[in-house]
Every structure is written in C-alpha cells, then in structure tokens.
C-alpha cells in the first residue's frame, strides 16, 4: 500500500513504566488532531525515571533523545523503544492509521532511547546501565516485509566511550553512514554502513557546542545538530571519510535547553524546541547550509498552562508542525507559513489530566 493511500496521523508514546503505549491521533485536512486510540508496545517504559544521571530528574524528558518513536521512510512501519524492558517494538500501520504490533525484540543493549531506519535497516542506540555493567552502544536489525525484526550479527558497536550517552541515532540521506550525537562526551560519532548492514567506526568528531542532542540530515548532505547545553544549532558538511566540517557554529537563539530539531519539507527552515523556555525557534537554512534565527513562538498560548516542548515533527505534506509537551502529554499543532513562521492551531490532549513521562513523536 502506498503512503498516499494511508490516513494522515500523528503518533506519540506514553513511556509508561508498567506498560508502554503508542497514542494515535487522526490528522484532518486542516492539521487538527483527534484522539484515535492507544496501542500497547508489549514492553515497558521508564515513566518519569531518567535513563541517565547526567540529565535533570524532572520527568519531562526521561529518555533524553530524539527518535524514540520513528517511522520507516516508506511510512509502512512505526518503531518504538521500550527503555524499561530493553526492547524495541515494530508496528504495521494500517490504511486507517491504526497500528498492528508486528514484533518485539531485545534492543541489543540496555535502555534503548533512539531509532532510525533506512531501507530494510533499523538501528537503535542504547544508553547502557552502569549498575548492570552494560556499555552504551548501537545495534542493527533487518526489517522484514511483515514488520518483524531480525538482529544483524556483528552489528552491535560501541560509541566513542563506554559510557557515552547517545541522544540520536541518524542515517545519512543516502544510507551510507550513521551519525550518533553523544550528549555527555560532546562527540558526533560517524559510522560507515557495510553492505551486510553492519557498521565500522566510529570516526569521532567534536561537536562545535556543548551537549549535542537532536539532529537532521538534509538531502544536500548538510547535518544540523542542536546543542542542549549551549542552547544553539550548528550545521556541518561531511566528507566521504566521515569527518565533519562546521558551516555555522552554535547559532544561539537566546532560549533554554535547545534539544530537538526538525525541518520543513523543502529544507529551507528548521525548528528547534527549547524545552525549559517553553518555546520553538525558527532558523533559516540557506543554500550552503548556513543558519540564521528568524522567529520564536511559545508552544502553548500565553496565559494557559505552559507546555514544555520536546519531540517534534512536520507532517508529510509539509503544511503542519507538531510538538509534544513533555510536562503535559499534549501535542501542540501549528500551521507552517511560506516564510517558515508558525501559527498555533490547537493543543491536543488524549488524557483528562497532565501526564509526565511521555516521549517521542512521529507525523505521517
């Protein structure tokens, strides 16, 4: 089934400790969301427990990552991490946007927190666990046609250090490399992807700023990375051997905890969520990958309970931007104007009361 025949949806994840679930919202032609259903992952989340002592234990962003919930690039499958049970779940997306659980597999490590796929490959980053002597790593899987996951022998690979905290695992746009942002080492580790799905590396690059977190890889070959501790966004070019060169270094936005990033479909603008400021910054991306801050808006209306935005995404038609408010379990909905500016349309809720611990957002 082609993606164009599928319902337009937005998904988020509860990350509940007892039983993790994916929450599905139907997205209408105006971008507005209606709760559709909750789908168990058959795994456990962490609730408000943080996966690492390096991040604030406030329950707002327990997995400290981008990509804990991710779509396959053809829109057929949805993948979720279960950081509380060291597993990942695979769902088939039905024609009406509902989810059918296809598989649950051990993640190849402890406390998985980010996923990305390319073709029939899926890679997961694992934070590790000092208490159980599990190191941080990445591990690979083949995605079968029925959505089941097959671990790739020899694909589990360490990061730049044994206890690096991965925040994002990301394929390049051609699928030939993987980039892992490491929040606590200030490294961007690059791996070469082999024909059999294993990786070699890492090639260790220094982040321009402190706390590299979220990232996107543009079709032009430009990598953009948020810096949670510097509160900025940097852009890089990448050579064939995996060495990064700074294009724009730490372009500050004057906000706090700049962690997640996504781009418009035409890749002319990027949006960062600045969690502790409750805001979203708009950056212009020029043809060379240089960045300029051009706008700012709050995630929730002024005068209403402040939403602290974390995970974010843009709809496949490129018309709407969505962000999960980690202190509420709500999703803020925005229309995207031609100049990249955002117009808030809705704050959608699936529960009757605020919910801490939710994580992940994927827009279809």
Q: Which residue has tokens 């852009």? A: 235
Domains with residue ranges and CATH for the chain: 3-363 (2.130.10.10)
Q: Residue 241 burial (CB < 10 Å; 0-12/13-18/19+)?
A: exposed
| pLDDT in the model for residue 144 | 97
Q: Is 196 helix (H, G, I), strand (E, B) or coil?
A: coil
**Which letter does DSSP use for residue 7 in this model?**
P
Give pairs for 179-183: CB < 8 Å, separation 24+. 179/215, 179/217, 179/223, 179/238, 180/125, 180/138, 181/207, 181/212, 181/213, 181/214, 181/215, 181/225, 182/212, 183/52, 183/54, 183/55, 183/64, 183/211, 183/212, 183/213, 183/228
pTM of the model: 0.96
Phi, psi of 5 (to 5 degrees): -90, -5
Strand partners, 106: 87
| pLDDT in the model for residue 133 | 73
Phi, psi of 71 (to 5 degrees): -95, 150
| pLDDT in the model for residue 7 | 85
Phi, psi of 3 (to 5 degrees): -60, -30
How far apart (Å, rounded) are the C-alpha atoms in residues 69 and 189? 21
Mean pLDDT for each consecutive 10-residue tract of the chain (364 residues)? 68 96 97 97 95 78 96 96 98 97 97 98 94 87 98 96 94 97 97 97 97 97 97 97 98 97 98 97 98 98 95 97 96 98 96 88 96
| pLDDT in the model for residue 214 | 98
**Which letter does DSSP use for residue 55 in this model?**
S
Cα 210 from chain centroid (whole Å): 19
From the list 311, 351, 315, 332, the residue with the least C-alpha distance to 9 is: 315
Strand partners, 149: 143
């Amino acid at each position: 089934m082609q993606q164009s025949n599928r319902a337009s949806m937005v998904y988020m994840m509860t990350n509940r400790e007892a039983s993790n679930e994916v929450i599905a919202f139907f997205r209408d032609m105006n971008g507005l969301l209606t709760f559709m259903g909750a789908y168990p992952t058959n795994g456990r989340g962490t609730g408000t427990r943080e996966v690492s002592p390096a991040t604030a234990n406030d329950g707002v962003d327990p997995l400290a990552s981008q990509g804990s919930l991710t779509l396959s690039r053809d829109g057929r499958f949805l993948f979720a991490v279960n950081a509380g049970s060291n597993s990942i779940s695979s769902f088939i997306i039905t024609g009406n946007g509902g989810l059918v659980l296809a598989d649950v597999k051990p993640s190849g490590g402890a406390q998985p927190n980010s996923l990305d796929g390319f073709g029939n490959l899926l890679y997961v980053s694992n934070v590790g666990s000092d208490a159980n002597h599990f190191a941080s790593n990445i591990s690979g899987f083949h995605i079968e046609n029925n959505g089941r996951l097959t671990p790739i022998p020899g694909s589990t690979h360490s990061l730049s250090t044994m206890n690096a905290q991965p925040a994002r695992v990301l394929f390049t746009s051609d699928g030939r490399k993987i980039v892992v942002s490491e929040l606590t080492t200030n490294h961007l580790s690059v791996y070469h992807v082999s024909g059999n799905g294993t990786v070699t590396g890492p090639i260790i690059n220094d982040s321009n700023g402190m706390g590299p977190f979220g990232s996107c890889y543009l079709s032009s070959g430009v990598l953009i990375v948020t810096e949670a501790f510097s509160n900025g966004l940097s852009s890089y070019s990448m050579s064939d051997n995996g060495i990064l060169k700074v294009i724009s270094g730490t372009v500050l936005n004057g906000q706090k905890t700049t962690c997640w990033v996504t781009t418009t479909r035409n890749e002319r603008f990027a949006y960062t969520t600045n969690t502790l400021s409750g805001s979203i910054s708009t950056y212009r991306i020029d043809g060379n990958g240089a960045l300029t801050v051009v706008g700012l808006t709050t995630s929730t209306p002024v005068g209403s309970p402040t939403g602290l935005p974390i995970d974010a995404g843009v709809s496949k038609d490129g018309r709407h931007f969505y962000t999960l408010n980690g202190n509420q379990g709500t999703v803020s909905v925005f229309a995207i104007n031609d100049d990249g500016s955002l117009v808030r349309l809705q704050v959608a809720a699936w529960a009757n009361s605020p919910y801490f611990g939710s994580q992940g957002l994927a827009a279809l």
